[in-house]
Structure 1
């Protein structure tokens, strides 16, 4: 009878968790269950995070105040207790033996299994993986790590996971163990990329800008077929005007990357000081070439075209049309109903927005005429105001449409080159020479081969090409590209021949190796030996040039190495990666202690390289969207704040962030 009374007392002490309904031994066990502090107590999977943290802190404080607490719990997680070894497991099993049976109310003679026996190492691995991906999301996005405690974030994870319940990492884990794991993973990836430089060569990409404080900042990236990695950021404000200091700065970068690995340096600037530094480095390190980013140079071509009187005047007239349409919701709705939702002004790079807008206006010419010049009531209403009458006059003006046609003939081929650069990363250097040449030929055809008409635009292109963009690597890329070289309309002009010879001579100082490359070049030129085998011929057009040489150029090893290293490089610079510069600006702000600076350096390294890794995998849409420049000048006057709101309501897709 006495034994039964004792059992009844023990049963009455049991309490149920309100969140998961599990029965616990007493109130102290319930606290450990809700706090998830380990031991033999199963952690509650449904307890709110704020209550969990409050109880955990309370238990830890009790441990500090009283070392003789009957059932002391460690501060480690339940997962840690599963890894604590045989001794701890034995203690837990002993405690389970004395736990009363839920059915009989008396001591169980059977050793109870751990309530999370099914939550084995495989589940532990899955949990760590989930936490790791959550950590990567925070590191890459730059969000405050404390956001994991927000109820909305926890609800989102709960809804996404469905019935499967995952532990959300704490801010401490995101700053500690998870961060270390992700950093190690990224470091391994970076080292893997580095190990490929000796075979394919690499290009140093410079991403420079001036921040709001007037500092000259620069990010250093290294690109190769394996991927692009971020090295570090620097403030070069104190050395930007000093040739010797700039030379020393870049020599340190070359030493860090490995001089033998570097094929070229692609800069972001056409300024004289950068050009002088490039000449000095090319003279001192002969295998290395210096050039300006292709997209930067083509944007410069478009900028120069935009200053020509006829094109400038056409832009001004087009702005009158777009500003009127986008500042009037009723007019915008009327137009979109007839264009099936197409916009005249679209999201794109700032440099090409004016030209794309002219192109869209020409495409919608008939709709604009119907909207402004017809006799129906809607058209009469649109043209009843002063601005509407001005737009109607422009739409009826033949000189406007003539000017717009000239803009398209002169500039759209270059706009297509910029779009091509954005879409084709791997084969740029093998085709850039041909692509620029095709753009010029398209302009020539647009003007019916009338030299007096197309030559002014050719001159703009040639001036930028010769002064900033052209590199002997571009000529070598054209010659060594089997898809172009073996085509029926290949043309090896003196510039290509000279550029190829320059690459051969600069690639090695050994005269004997230069002679071998020259002999092997003749074999390639005449398609003799392995170069003329049927399967090799078939692969010329459907295999990237660098891979083609890697697979089929083994019979000419010296020429093969030159071809692979030349064709494996980009011709566009760092701007295509759209890295957020604010992170580097924060990193290079003075006033932190060493620990804080080290952590920010690690975060910058991790975040930039995660974005570059995503770019290598083709996941670039979210990066590009962040860098799409606003077309505000083409939509409304900056002073018309009320019209901005109207335009947002009418355009739908156009947002304040876009501006």
Structure 2
């Protein structure tokens, strides 16, 4: 815990408020006229390319700094017109001045610069002076006020942060350097009727920035001392905690550890249970999918975690120690059957496995035989990772990956190349992470290709050429590799193959709707994309198609994917919609297994005919217009009322995911603690409650579908070790 004095805690709170307001204000400024000067490289606008020099920066706000040449950590644009540079610089400085006036009051000197490095030359070498309004008589500057001078000096140092404290705390030398005789250096004090505690200290922006830095360091101190993953700061509950503690003001008492484990945990448990029940209430209408997530811990135990996904949200049920069942298909079948019964057989559309072991597959077959209405599938991201893994084993691809890893290992293992890399690629990194190994490899390879020009420039720079590393054999080898056109051509060929497959993952995991209606079409388009990228040469693309078809036929494909493709109105009405035996058999198989009773099945047939012929109320003019603007399941809920049996069937299929539980990146340590032995019943129940609360809170605040490039947790950092070190 952070043990702060009450006064310090108040200062920290105020600084946090200012800091978050400052960040929010800067983020809203970035998207106005500045967008005409750059091109967003992704939908989140997190990467922006300058229109004048082609450099990529992180967002439109940094583009504004790039064009204006303002900031130490942003390279100035070399191609922007002078009027654009001047305009951006003026806008940035004016905004900073407005915020400074608003937050800390009126500046004593109207021409006080905002930053030292943009200050005009001063005829007087003394530091710019600031005004402190405070009832301190001029006669008090004598020897008799030493205690008060020390107290005020210490107060200034406390507010200045570490860097200002160093400059203000030089003692005798600082006093002697002040020729005016003022013992407080550059701070002027005027006599008023206000009290000292209510005085306003007017500081330059760098002092304000230092106070923010001081607060940020205190937060960092807590994180590092407690061993907390820095990604935790992204949780919405962290900001809510900060805001609530600021509103409490003076006298706020941090809860004791026994309170956290006692009544606070109980209250959170009640809140989470309400959320879980709310999610459960939609299962009967939309159906749901049981997601399996398994791993082996350091003790050699095989643990399995059960999640349930639906359009209303994803919830955590429980975790089990399956060490005694993992190699026994019958034991796994019994375990899975209990979970299906708990969720409700009538609600479960599919069980998505996290892997395809022989025991897991055998248990899945037994489960489907017992419960004919549900399907056993394997996670799509796991299967696409298998496809990329097999592609990575091809000789020419293996050579490209080996060479690329030589480059990154060299850069990340030596200080000078690492610093040059950070400067040349705008503070970013070459290595990209994902929770799946092969996807990480090819994301990183694609990122290296996108930074080709920057890397070549880096190894031709004076800083590199004049370094000792450049004359060493390894340095020469890496430099030659970076400047080798054949390496870059081979890298481009590999990315042409892998990018279409990674886009499938982005389609099914990075969208805002359930992907069941899109996977079948996305995989077909990926194959066609690979064919087109390789010039339609059969000798080049057919071996890759064979790899994809092998995984599709033996691992990934399920009748649900075919039915989802057929029932997706956006795809169904497209010009390139194609129905083959795989699609029709998949659709009919789902009807037979999921629709109860021959009478209901018979009613669906004419409703399907109306849908197929684009006639009747199922597809009126408004429905046709909205088919590409709404998620497929929502479209059926809105426009399928006159075909109730088909509507219910379509909604259940189109509401399901294709990927497993790994994309949610739930922490494993709490589940591992739950299954430790030797606790009392009360302690064991407390740990179970903590696991239930933690996982469901994380799931509640996590988007149902997110970009796989963001699916990375601290437990997966080992995936990229071979890109950074030889191991």
TM-score by length of 1: 0.70
Distance 1:162 1:282, change over 3 A: closer
* Alignment map for 1:33-182 (pairs within 5 Å): 160-161=246-247, 163=249, 166=252, 168-182=254-268
Measured after TM superposition, the shift of residue 554 of structure 1 is 0.8
> After superposition, what is the alpha-carbon deviation per residue over 1:177-211, rounded to whole angstroms, capped at 9, x for unaligned?
33222211211111121121111111111001111
Q: Is the 8 A contact 1:203 1:266 kept in 2?
A: yes
Which of 629, 641, 646 aligns to 2:717? It is: 629
Measured after TM superposition, the shift of residue 625 of structure 1 is 4.7
Q: Write the distance in 2 (CA, Å) between the matches of 1:395 and 1:187.
A: 56
Greater Cα radius of gyration, structure 1 or 2: 1
Matched length: 491
Unaligned runs of 5+ in 1: 1-18, 21-137, 144-152, 639-659
Q: Write the distance in 1 (CA, Å) between the matches of 2:227 and 2:473.
A: 49
Measured after TM superposition, the shift of residue 301 of structure 1 is 1.0
Query: Which residue pairs with 1:606 in the alignment?
Result: 693
In the alignment, does 2:632 pair up with 1:545? yes
Query: Which residue pairs with 2:444 in the alignment?
Result: 357
Measured after TM superposition, the shift of residue 464 of structure 1 is 0.9
Measured after TM superposition, the shift of residue 619 of structure 1 is 10
TM-score by length of 2: 0.63
In the alignment, does 2:487 pair up with 1:400? yes
Query: Which residue pairs with 2:129 in the alignment?
Result: none
> RMSD in angstroms over aligned alpha carbons?
2.9
Q: Write the distance in 2 (CA, Å) between the matches of 1:280 and 1:563.
A: 26
> After superposition, what is the alpha-carbon deviation per residue over 1:83-122, rounded to whole angstroms, capped at 9, x for unaligned?
xxxxxxxxxxxxxxxxxxxxxxxxxxxxxxxxxxxxxxxx
Report runs of 4+ in structure 1 exceeding 6 Å deviation: 155-159, 617-623
Measured after TM superposition, the shift of residue 457 of structure 1 is 1.1
SS at match of 2:471: coil
* Alignment map for 1:499-514 (pairs within 5 Å): 499-514=586-601
* Alignment map for 1:15-414 (pairs within 5 Å): 160-161=246-247, 163=249, 166=252, 168-349=254-435, 350-372=437-459, 374=460, 378-379=464-465, 381=467, 383-414=470-501
Distance 1:375 1:423, change over 3 A: closer
SS at match of 1:212: coil
Measured after TM superposition, the shift of residue 415 of structure 1 is 2.0
Q: Write the distance in 1 (CA, Å) between the matches of 2:331 and 2:588.
A: 32
SS at match of 2:290: strand
SS at match of 2:702: helix
Distance 1:413 1:337, change over 3 A: same
Unaligned runs of 5+ in 2: 1-5, 8-222, 229-238
Q: Which moved more, 1:322-331 or 1:618-627?
A: 618-627
Q: Write the distance in 1 (CA, Å) between the matches of 2:701 and 2:710.
A: 10
Measured after TM superposition, the shift of residue 511 of structure 1 is 2.1
Distance 1:415 1:426, change over 3 A: same
Distance 1:609 1:163, change over 3 A: closer
Q: Is the 8 A contact 2:641 2:647 kept in 1?
A: yes
Query: Which residue pairs with 2:564 in the alignment?
Result: 477
Q: Is the 8 A contact 1:476 1:499 kept in 2?
A: yes
Q: Write the distance in 1 (CA, Å) between the matches of 2:292 and 2:619.
A: 40
Q: Write the distance in 1 (CA, Å) between the matches of 2:325 and 2:332.
A: 6
> After superposition, what is the alpha-carbon deviation per residue over 1:317-351, rounded to whole angstroms, capped at 9, x for unaligned?
11111122222222233344333334322343443
Q: Write the distance in 1 (CA, Å) between the matches of 2:244 and 2:622.
A: 55
SS at match of 1:476: helix
Q: Which moved more, 1:389-398 or 1:374-383?
A: 374-383
Q: Write the distance in 2 (CA, Å) between the matches of 1:428 and 1:446.
A: 25
Query: Which residue pairs with 1:468 in the alignment?
Result: 555
Which of 681, 684, 703 aligns to 1:597? It is: 684
> After superposition, what is the alpha-carbon deviation per residue over 1:381-417, rounded to whole angstroms, capped at 9, x for unaligned?
4531111111133234444233212211221221222
